[in-house]
């Protein structure tokens, strides 16, 4: 019985009367090609892997291919094609704009070169102390375990190695990665990627997780995987049990369009969430697939309903194969403008451009800070409401000093970056060769002989440390930043990428593979 203002008791009663409807288990309809495959096989991830589609003939059985797709599939030098039957079943066979199809079926134009295109646009192989380990940020690394995936995204940022079994990482590479991590205590976060770590044989995966967990300073392990999307059948109870053993484990999936969020994916995500794995999503902004505020809104809403936090929205990388997927950066900013404030903060990803050449992720967003004067900041909200924030005139930034002195300092000497300028670790960041260039081949003369005139005064102490582009300090005066001592062994790997060539990285596959299950 419903009353206009029900009491708590009445509401509870109603709940009992109307249990949430559960119906029969929803599944994505299967194309007739697979209508006779027993559920037991269809739901077995090994069957899905073994029956992937990769040829023109196979794909033509389930999709009305366009001339451009036929051209793409016939190209000799194309990036690997492989599509799980499950993911292929999401494709609309008659819609050339189908967002699922566009992500995995090549088009002739994908091979077209464009200005700025690079093989390794994020310079990952250049910033790898050992093959497959990219140590770009002070406290975390990207660890590539395999070059294999369940299916292959046409815009793959790592197409230079991904899909090629000959480029995969060996047991020897993995041991070298582990050695580096054991000897690099500044790393507290290891991000497993590839390829896709969840296509590893179960025993291999457990070996990786247990080896990492044996390293005390590694606090969190993250997995970046599109397996739940391409092959939700892989998210078995056994896999969840393995993940649970090595917590804290975080997982980022990769969904680009709401159409990919099927009942099968929802159930896989629910299992992972029940296993205590915090879930995030990384999507790539793709022309003609998800470069729309409305599509992105639907995507992020569906994600949070599945307990997945939209984490990053990536600007498309400048790699071969991705040219026709690239959007302007303005489009990404417009999408954030259309989401932030309009919907739950939890549903808004950070839009990032992964810096060409290897600078890491750079967040980009609309401008919300409109103007400033001493003591006043003018801000605007998503509606265009403009307001002033009066800053405190009596703010004491030293009120925190007592607590700050007890807080843990992290040793990131020479990696302070722009924050290092604020913290007093450094006084400038200069392009390589800046000092030499500006000497203009000058001989020593009466005005330039005294270098003390360029030392900054601070609290009676001369300021040390000029950073050059390689992040090395000049070392000609005392170390004034004070912190950072006591941690060692972690430095010396940063910067100074000159002279390291990428050779040696290709040798990895000569070694023994990881143990097979
Ligand atoms: C993306 C990335 C990370 C992780 O970055 P977060 O911003 O911490 O998610 C780490 N290393 C490399 C090389 C990366 O590309």
337 and 429, same domain (yes or no):
no
156 is catalytic: yes
Query: pLDDT grade, residue 452 (50/70/90)?
Result: confident
Residue 118: inside a domain, yes or no?
Answer: no
181 and 316, same domain (yes or no):
yes
Contacts of 434 (CB under 8 A, 6+ apart): 468
Beta bridge pairs of residue 361: 354
Residue 282 Cα to ligand 1 midpoint, Å, equals 12
Backbone angles phi, psi at 437, to 5 degrees: -55, -45
Question: Of 110, 139, 168, which closes a domain?
Answer: 110
Q: Taking 60 as the threshold, does the pLDDT of residue 440 lie above it?
A: yes
Cα–Cα distances in angstroms (integers) from residue 156 to residues 40, 121, 254, 289, 310, in the given order: 31, 11, 12, 15, 20
Residue 482 Cα to ligand 1 midpoint, Å, equals 28
192 and 92, same domain (yes or no):
no
How are strands ordered across the β-sheet holding 376-380? 369-373, 376-380, 386-390
Instruction: Answer yes or no: is the C-beta of 191 below 6 A from any ligand 1 atom.
Output: yes
Residue 340 confidence (pLDDT): 98
Domain that holds residue 94: 32-110
Beta strands in 254-367, from DSSP E residues, in sequence order = 279-284, 308-314, 350-354, 361-363
Ligand 1 pocket check: which of 128, 191, 351, 362 to mutate, most ligand atoms within 8 Å of Cβ?
191
Q: For the chain, how many structural domains are there in total?
A: 3
Residue 21: inside a domain, yes or no?
Answer: no
Residue 198 Cα to ligand 1 midpoint, Å, equals 18
Ligand 1 pocket check: which of 139, 142, 253 to mutate, most ligand atoms within 8 Å of Cβ?
142
Q: Taking 50 as the threshold, does the pLDDT of residue 347 lie above it?
A: yes
Instruction: Answer yes or no: is the C-beta of 134 below 6 A from any ligand 1 atom.
Output: yes
Find where tokens 């404030």 sit: 341
Query: Tens of pLDDT along 464-494?
Result: 555 554 444 444 333 333 333 333 333 333 3
Give the pLDDT mean for 503-508: 35
- 117 class by beta-carbon count within 10 Å (0-12 exposed, 13-18 middle, 19+ buried): middle
Ligand 1 pocket check: which of 137, 177, 364 to mutate, most ligand atoms within 8 Å of Cβ?
137
203 and 351, same domain (yes or no):
yes
More confident residue, 220 or 487: 220
Give the pLDDT mean for 194-208: 96
Instruction: Answer yes or no: is the C-beta of 135 below 6 A from any ligand 1 atom.
Output: no
| Contact of 73 with 55, CB cutoff 8 Å | yes
Residue 370: inside a domain, yes or no?
Answer: no
Q: How far apart are the first and last CA of the chain?
A: 58
Give the pLDDT mean for 47-74: 97
Residue 439 DSSP one-character state: H
264 and 161, same domain (yes or no):
yes
Residue 158: inside a domain, yes or no?
Answer: yes
Half-sphere exposure of 84 (CA within 13 A, CB side): 26
241 is catalytic: no
Q: Which residues of 411-441 are buried (b: 16+ CB within 10 A; e: fewer)?
A: bbbbbbbeebeeebbbbebeeeeeeeeeeee
Nearest Cα residue to atom 15 of ligand 1: 360
Contacts of 20 (CB under 8 A, 6+ apart): none
Q: What is the average pLDDT value for the chain, to the nearest integer?
A: 88
Q: Given 158, 226, 259, 271, which residue is catalytic? A: 158
Residue 371: inside a domain, yes or no?
Answer: no
Residue 162 Cα to ligand 1 midpoint, Å, equals 18
Instruction: Answer yes or no: is the C-beta of 123 below 6 A from any ligand 1 atom.
Output: no
Residue 401: inside a domain, yes or no?
Answer: no
Question: Of 63, 81, 110, which closes a domain?
Answer: 110
Residue 473 confidence (pLDDT): 43
421 and 298, same domain (yes or no):
no
Residue 5 confidence (pLDDT): 72
| Contact of 283 with 254, CB cutoff 8 Å | yes
401 is catalytic: no
153 and 95, same domain (yes or no):
no
The model carries a pTM of 0.85
Q: What tokens does 220 get?
A: 């969190």
Q: Which residues of 136-172 are buried (b: 16+ CB within 10 A; e: fewer)?
A: bbbbbbbbbbbbbbbbbbbbbbbbbbbbeeebbbbeb
263 and 307, same domain (yes or no):
yes
Ligand 1 pocket check: which of 140, 143, 158 to mutate, most ligand atoms within 8 Å of Cβ?
140
133 and 267, same domain (yes or no):
yes
Residue 243 confidence (pLDDT): 98
Q: What tokens does 70 get?
A: 């036929």
Q: Given 120, 139, 196, 317, which residue is catalytic? A: 317
Q: What tokens does 377 get?
A: 């900041």
Query: Tens of pLDDT along 137-192?
Result: 999 999 999 999 999 999 999 999 999 999 999 999 999 999 999 999 999 999 99
| Contact of 411 with 490, CB cutoff 8 Å | yes
Nearest Cα residue to atom 2 of ligand 1: 142
Residue 136 Cα to ligand 1 midpoint, Å, equals 8
**β-bridge pairing 279-284 and 140-144:** unpaired
346 and 456, same domain (yes or no):
no
Residue 460 confidence (pLDDT): 67
120 is catalytic: no
131 and 91, same domain (yes or no):
no
Residue 3: inside a domain, yes or no?
Answer: no
| Contact of 150 with 49, CB cutoff 8 Å | yes
Residue 142 Cα to ligand 1 midpoint, Å, equals 7
153 is catalytic: yes
Question: Of 329, 345, 363, which closes a domain?
Answer: 363
98 is catalytic: no
Backbone angles phi, psi at 204, to 5 degrees: -60, -45
Instruction: Answer yes or no: is the C-beta of 137 below 6 A from any ligand 1 atom.
Output: yes
112 is catalytic: no
Of the ranges 7-21, 65-79, 301-315, which one carries the lowest mean pLDDT score?
7-21
More confident residue, 91 or 13: 91
Q: Given 52, 101, 149, 173, which residue is catalytic? A: 149
Instruction: Answer yes or no: is the C-beta of 142 below 6 A from any ligand 1 atom.
Output: yes
Backbone angles phi, psi at 68, to 5 degrees: -70, -35
**β-bridge pairing 279-284 and 308-314:** parallel
457 is catalytic: no
Of the ranges 79-93, 248-262, 443-457, which one carries the lowest mean pLDDT score?
443-457
CA atoms of 172 and 183, how far apart (whole Å)? 17
Query: pLDDT grade, residue 25 (50/70/90)?
Result: confident
User: What CATH number did the domain enclosing 283 receive?
Assistant: 3.20.20.70
Query: Tens of pLDDT along 88-146?
Result: 999 999 999 999 999 999 999 999 999 999 999 999 999 999 999 999 999 999 999 99
Query: Tens of pLDDT along 298-339?
Result: 999 999 999 999 999 999 999 999 999 999 999 999 999 999
Instruction: Answer yes or no: is the C-beta of 136 below 6 A from any ligand 1 atom.
Output: yes
Indicate which atom in ligand 1 lies nearest the CA of residue 124. Answer: 13
Residue 211: inside a domain, yes or no?
Answer: yes
Find where tokens 């967990």 sit: 213
Helix (H, G, I), strand (E, B) or coil at 461: strand
57 and 130, same domain (yes or no):
no
Residue 278 Cα to ligand 1 midpoint, Å, equals 17
Residue 4 confidence (pLDDT): 62
């Amino acid at each position: 019985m419903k009353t206009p203002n029900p009491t708590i008791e009445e509401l509870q009663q109603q709940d009992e009367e109307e249990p949430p409807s559960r119906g029969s288990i929803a599944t994505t309809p299967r194309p007739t090609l697979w209508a006779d495959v027993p559920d037991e096989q269809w739901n077995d991830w090994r069957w899905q892997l073994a029956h992937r589609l990769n040829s023109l003939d196979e794909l033509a059985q389930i999709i009305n291919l366009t001339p451009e797709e036929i051209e793409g599939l016939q190209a000799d030098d194309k990036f690997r094609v492989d599509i799980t039957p499950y993911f292929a079943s999401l494709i609309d066979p008659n819609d050339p704009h189908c967002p699922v199809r566009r992500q995995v079926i090549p088009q002739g134009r994908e091979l077209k070169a464009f200005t700025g295109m690079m093989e390794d646009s994020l310079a990952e192989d250049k910033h790898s102390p050992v093959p497959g380990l990219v140590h770009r940020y002070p406290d975390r690394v990207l660890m590539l375990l395999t070059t294999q995936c369940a299916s292959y995204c046409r815009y793959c940022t790592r197409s230079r190695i991904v899909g090629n079994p000959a480029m995969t990482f060996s047991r020897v590479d993995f041991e070298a990665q582990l050695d580096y991590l054991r000897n690099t205590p500044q790393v507290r976060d290891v991000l497993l990627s590839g390829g896709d770590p969840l296509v590893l044989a179960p025993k291999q995966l457990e070996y990786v997780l247990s080896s990492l967990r044996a390293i005390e300073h590694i606090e969190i392990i993250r997995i970046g995987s599109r397996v739940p999307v391409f092959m939700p059948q892989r998210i078995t109870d056994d896999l969840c049990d393995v993940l649970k053993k090595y917590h804290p484990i975080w997982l980022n999936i990769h969904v680009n369009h709401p159409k990919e969020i099927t009942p099968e994916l929802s159930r896989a995500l629910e299992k992972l969430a029940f296993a205590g794995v915090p879930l995030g999503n990384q999507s790539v902004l793709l022309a003609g697939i998800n470069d729309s505020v409305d599509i992105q809104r639907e995507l992020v809403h569906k994600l949070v309903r599945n307990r997945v936090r939209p984490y990053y929205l990536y600007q498309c990388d400048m790699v071969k194969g991705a040219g026709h997927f690239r959007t302007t950066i303005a489009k990404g900013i417009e999408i954030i403008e259309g989401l932030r404030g309009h919907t739950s903060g939890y549903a808004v990803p950070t839009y990032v451009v992964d810096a060409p050449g290897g600078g890491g992720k750079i967040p980009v967003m609309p401008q919300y800070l409109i103007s400033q004067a001493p003591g006043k900041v003018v801000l605007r909200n998503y509606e265009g409401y403009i307001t002033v924030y009066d800053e405190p005139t009596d703010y004491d930034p030293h009120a925190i000093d007592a607590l700050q002195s007890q807080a843990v300092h992290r040793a990131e000497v020479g990696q302070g970056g722009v924050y290092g300028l604020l913290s007093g670790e450094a006084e400038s960041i200069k392009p390589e060769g800046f000092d030499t260039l500006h000497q203009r081949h000058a001989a020593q003369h009466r005005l330039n002989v005294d270098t003390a005139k360029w030392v900054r005064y601070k609290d009676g102490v001369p300021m040390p440390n000029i950073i050059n582009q390689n992040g090395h300090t000049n070392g000609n005066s005392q170390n004034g930043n004070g912190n950072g001592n006591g941690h060692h062994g972690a430095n010396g790997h940063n910067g100074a990428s000159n002279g390291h060539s990428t050779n040696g990285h290709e040798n990895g596959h000569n070694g023994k593979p990881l143990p097979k299950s």
